Amino acid sequence: MAKTLDVLKQRRSCRAFTNRPVEKEKMAAILEAGTYAPTGMGKQSPIIIVIKDPKVKETLRRMNAEIMGGKD
């Protein structure tokens, strides 16, 4: 148990994104996993939206930055 706690305390999330699209097979696996992920007592139906259009993604990014008080 102590080892698990050490791992949790020391883990870090490092994100490096590219403009390369995700392969269809990988996207299908991600969406399937999200569909079967646990929800609040099994009473929440997942809604998963995939946005590929760069203009829409940029609009959503700006809106999120504004809501979260981040920089544009």
Residue 50 exposure: Cα atoms within 13 Å on the Cβ side: 13
Distance, in Å, from the CA atom of 45 to the CA atom of 42, rounded to the nearest integer, reads: 8
Question: For tokens 């698990």, what's the residue?
Answer: 4
Structure confidence by residue, pLDDT tens digits, 25-48: 999 999 999 988 888 888 888 889
Q: How confident is the model at residue 24 (pLDDT cuts 50, 70, 90)?
A: very high
Q: What's the pTM?
A: 0.60
Cα dihedral 14, 31, 41, 1 sign: negative
Q: Are 22 and 30 in contact (CB under 8 A)?
A: yes
The end-to-end CA distance of the chain, in Å, is 42
